[in-house]
Chains A and B, each alone.
Chain A
Amino acid sequence: MQPNDLDRIARQIRLRDLQAVFEAGAGHIGGEMSAIDILTALYFRVLRVSPDAPKRPDRDRFILSKGHVALALYVTLAKRGFIPEEEISTFLKPHSRLNGHPNCNKVPGVETNTGPLGHGLPVAVGMAKAAKLTGAGYHTYVLTGDGEMQEGSNWEAIASAAQFGLDNLTLIIDHNRFQQGASLKDTNNLAPFPAKLEAFGWDVTEINGNVMDEIVPALEKRGARPHCIVAHTNKGHGISFMQDTVDWHHKVPNAEQYKIAVAELSEAL
C-alpha cells in the first residue's frame, strides 16, 4: 500500500477514534492522534500478520506498550479485520472486551497485556530473542510513549537487546513531547533520545512520525543492531485545537468541539 492510501486510512482511523472517545466519554485522544499514523503504517504496510490466523507462529509481533491508547489499536485492528468494525461502539461498555487497555486473551491481534508503562519493551526483547533461538524470521515492533521511557524497566531492556544482538527488534518512541500532567521537558526530560540509545548500542533513526513517507522506510529499515525510531509527533495530530497541548492527554471534546474536530478530519478525507 502506498503512502497516499495509508494517509487516507489513517484519517479514517482518526475519525472513528474521535467518534468513539466522544461516545464513550473517555479515552486518551491526544496520544491516540499522535500514534495513529505509525499504527496505520504498521498494520496496512509493514507487519506480516493475518487477521484469519492471528496466532500464526511466524507472524510479525507488535506490542502497544503505551497501552492507554488502546482505542487507536482497536480501531486499527477492526479496520484490518481482526475484530468487527461495529464492535468499536462497545468501547468501555460493561463486559466489552475493549476496555481501556488491550487484553491479549480476548482481543485477537494483541500480543501481551499492557497498561502499566514500561512493560512492552522487555516482552518485545523476549519475543525477538525467541526468534533468534528458534530461527524464526519474524520481526518484533514495540511502540512506547516518550514519557514512558522514564520507566527504568525500559533501560534494562534496551541494554539486554544490545547484549543479545537483536537486529530483529524495532522500538518506536512516540515523541509527542507531552505526558499526562505536563511537557516531557518540564517533568523528567529524557530528550534528546538518539545519543542515549546509541550509547547503549542501538541504531537510531529520527523521523517525523506523522508523515508516511518517513514512517514507512524507517519501519522497513534493517541493520545489524536493534533499531530505535525516534518519531517526532504531535499530540492531538490532525485536530487543530488539540494539537500540542497537554490538556488533551485524556480530555473528551464537548459537542461543539466534536463538531469542529469531525469537520477538520472529514475535510482531509
Chain B
Amino acid sequence: MNAVTPTAKLHDCRDAFVSVLERLGAENSRIVAVCNDSVGSSKLGGFKSKWPERLVNVGIAEQNLVGVGAGLANGGLLPFVCGAACFLTGRSLEQIKADIAYSNANVKLIGISSGMAYGELGPTHHSIEDFAWTRVLPNLPVVAPCDSIETAAAVEWAASYDGPVFLRLSRVGVPDLLPEGHKFQLGKANLLRDGDAVTLIANGTLTHRMVKAAALLAEKGIEARVLNMATVRPIDVDAVVAAAHDTGAIVTAEEHSVYGGLGSAIAEVVVAETPVPMKILGVPGIFAPTGSAEFLLDEFGMSPSAIAEAAIALIARK
C-alpha cells in the first residue's frame, strides 16, 4: 500500500465536530447540546444561534451536567454533552459510571481539549487519565479520532449508535491523514502504512507523529506498520494480534499517562495472545511541567525522531 502523507494544513478537530453536529441537528430535532458554561471552548456558538432552546447550559456544574444528559436521553432526546475532558471525566466520573454507562443511557460525552491541549495551564487542566477512567466502564465505547476527517466520521457514527459514547477530542491542530469520505467503524484500526519490522500504534494527536516516525524509519531502510487506533474500547484485538504476529514488536504513543491508556489496552491483548516486546510512550506517570502540548509531547519522547529511535531500540530486542 501507499503510505499516508499528512496534509500541510492543520485542523482544529472541534470545527469538524460542530460542523457535523449542526448538520445532523438540522436533520434531527432530537439532537441537543448540553454544556457546562463551555459554549465557547466547545465551539457551540453556531449551534446556539441556530437553536438557542436546544443548547442546554447547566453552568459550571459537571455532576449536574452528566446527570441532566442522562435525563434528557430518558425523555427521548439525543444529547451531546460537551465539556473540557479533564472536568467532564474527572469531576463527574461517578455520574458517567452510574447514570450513563450502567444505566446504558443514549448520551454522547464529548471531551474537549483532552490530553495536554491546555498545556501551559498545568496538570489541573490536563486530561491524561481519561482513557484509564473510562475504558474500564462497561457499555461505554471510548474513541479518540486522529484528524478532522475521522472526527467528523466518528460524530456521525456516534449519533447513529444506540448507546453511550465517550468521544475524546483535542483543540491542538493536526494534519488530515484519512481519506475524504472515510467511514468510522467502532473497534476497527486503520492501516496507514504497512511494514514488517515493527508496528507503531497511536490515536488522537499522536497518529500523525507515528506516520512521520515511520517515514524517518523508512529512510533508514526500516519498514514500519502504522495503525491508527481511535477506539480504545473495545480494542481491535485482531489488528493487535496481527501486528504482533507479523512484525514482532509494537510501539504505542498517546497523549495520556503511560498507565491505563491505549498502550495498556494493547498490552493486555499482547500478553494474553502473542507476547512480543512493546514500548509504551506517553506521559511517564508524572504531573507535567509547564509547556504547550506540542512541547510536552516532544519532552516526553514523542517527537517523530524520538519515536523512531524508540522503535529501533525495540526492534533490537526482538
Contacts and interface: CB of A to CB of B under 8 A. Distances in A.
A126 B70 contact: yes
Contacts of A157: 64, 67-68
A160 B58 contact: yes
Contacts of B102: 103, 113
A127 B56 CA distance: 12
Q: Which of A111, A115, A116, A126 has the most CB of B within 10 A?
A: A126
B63 A118 contact: yes
Interface residues of A, number: 35
Interface in B59-80: 59, 61, 63-64, 66-77, 79
Interface string A63-104: 000000000000000000000000000000000000000011
A237 to B, nearest CB: 28
A133 B54 contact: yes
A140 B71 CA distance: 10
A104 B102 CA distance: 9
A136 interface: yes
Contact of A104 (B58, B75, B103): B103
Contact of A122 (B63, B79, B104): B63
A111 B58 CA distance: 22
A150 B79 CA distance: 28
A121 B58 CA distance: 14
A130 B76 contact: yes
Contact of A125 (B67, B73, B79, B95): B67
Given A112-B103, A119-B95, A160-B58, A125 B64 contact: yes
B64 A153 contact: yes
B103 A116 contact: no
A240 to B, nearest CB: 36
A198 interface: no
A119 B71 CA distance: 11
Contacts of B68: 122-123, 125-126, 129, 157, 160
Nearest to A57: B76
B162 interface: no
A134 interface: yes
B137 to A, nearest CB: 13
A187 interface: no
A125 B71 contact: yes
A123 B61 CA distance: 13
A61 interface: yes
Interface of A: 57, 61, 103-105, 111-116, 118-119, 121-131, 133-134, 136, 140, 152-153, 156-157, 159-160, 163
Interface of B: 32, 53-54, 56, 58-59, 61, 63-64, 66-77, 79, 94-95, 98-99, 102-105
Given A122-B99, A156-B64, 17 more contacts: A111-B74, A112-B103, A112-B105, A113-B102, A119-B98, A122-B66, A123-B74, A126-B69, A129-B72, A130-B77, A152-B63, A153-B63, A153-B95, A156-B58, A156-B61, A157-B67, A160-B61
